[in-house]
Amino acid sequence: MDDSAPSQDLLLFLASTAHDMKNSISVLSGTLERLLVDASPRGEASYPQMAQMLYQTRRLNDNLMQLLALYKRVGTPEYPFDVQPIETAQLLDQVVALGQVLLDAKGIALEVDAAPDLIWHLDEDLIVGVVSHAVNNAVHYTRDRIRLSLREQDGLLEIAVEDNGAGYPQALLDAGAAGLSGVASGIDFRTNSAGLGLYFSREVARMHRHRGREGSVRLENGGALGGGCFILSLP
């Protein structure tokens, strides 16, 4: 037996703790959203601070959701993988609705470019979670614009989240390339990232398979707005 391996009791304790933390952070995030909706950007001296707090609570909530999903092993009976035909415009509407308060609070314009009347087979909840997390990350890197686009390209559904910032730092691109290739890269204190979001996105993408092809995720710089680009491709 490997004495260094975590026990099942410890894993269950950590999962339970993460669940409790997620619930508390969800309450805090909801409270901040209501305060921001009721507040005026010019009339409240604390408005920018509340907007930053909402960004951070969203980030924490995403991370805890991803940890819990990975613990429950997405795709097993405990956390089923549910692929259904979905109107992609409806999917983007959900992403926009989830991020609208934060985007408004930060003064960030969101541009949506989607092919009309496109239907795709995917797990709606998981993909909305992945794309919403990418939008939340883009809030950190953008100057004032984010572009959310969706199109069919070479038989794949391609969902891109782009920003007009300075682009991802090279350290994050390197960490992303390692994580997306399946190489464990550990925690990088330069990027303030353990690679959880990318790992989770990669796992969700790879679960989507069709006719010998599987989904993928990539990070790059450039795109329509000249900044960072998160691109999710699904068969």
Query: What number is the average pLDDT over the span 169-196?
Result: 62
Query: What number is the average pLDDT over the span 149-177?
Result: 89
Q: What residues pair up with 148 in beta bridges, in sequence order?
A: 112, 161
Q: How far apart (Å, rounded) are the C-alpha atoms in residues 51 and 54?
A: 5
Q: Are strands 109-114 and 145-153 parallel, antiparallel or unpaired?
A: parallel
* pLDDT band for position 184 (cuts 50, 70, 90): very low
Q: Is 35 exposed, middle or buried (0-12, 13-18, 19+ CB in 10 A)?
A: middle
Residue whose C-alpha is closest to residue 199's, from 219, 226, 222: 219
Q: What is the pTM (predicted TM-score) of this model?
A: 0.82
Q: How far apart (Å, rounded) are the C-alpha atoms in residues 57 and 44?
A: 20
| pLDDT tens-digit readout, 23-33 | 788 888 888 88
Higher pLDDT, 80 or 91: 91
Q: How far apart (Å, rounded) are the C-alpha atoms in residues 124 and 1?
A: 40
Residue 157's CB: how many other CB atoms inside 10 A?
A: 24
Q: Are 182 and 51 in contact (CB under 8 A)?
A: no
Q: Is 200 exposed, middle or buried (0-12, 13-18, 19+ CB in 10 A)?
A: buried
Q: Is 20 exposed, middle or buried (0-12, 13-18, 19+ CB in 10 A)?
A: exposed
Show the tokens assigned to 77.
């009976």
Q: Does the pLDDT at position 189 exceed 90?
A: no
* pLDDT band for position 43 (cuts 50, 70, 90): low
Q: What is the pLDDT of residue 77?
A: 63
**Type of residue at 102:** L
Q: What is the pLDDT of residue 216?
A: 94
Q: Does the pLDDT at position 168 exceed 60?
A: yes
Query: What number is the average pLDDT over the span 53-74?
Result: 82
Q: How far apart (Å, rounded) are the C-alpha atoms in residues 85 and 128?
A: 14
Across the chain, mean pLDDT equals: 84
Show the tokens assigned to 156.
């794949």
C-alpha distances in angstroms, 192 versus 78, 116, 179? 31, 38, 15
Lowest-confidence segment of 142-146, 179-183, 223-227 by average pLDDT: 179-183
Q: What is the pLDDT of residue 198?
A: 85
Lowest-confidence segment of 75-84, 115-124, 148-157 by average pLDDT: 75-84
Alpha helix stretches (DSSP H) within 39-87: 47-71
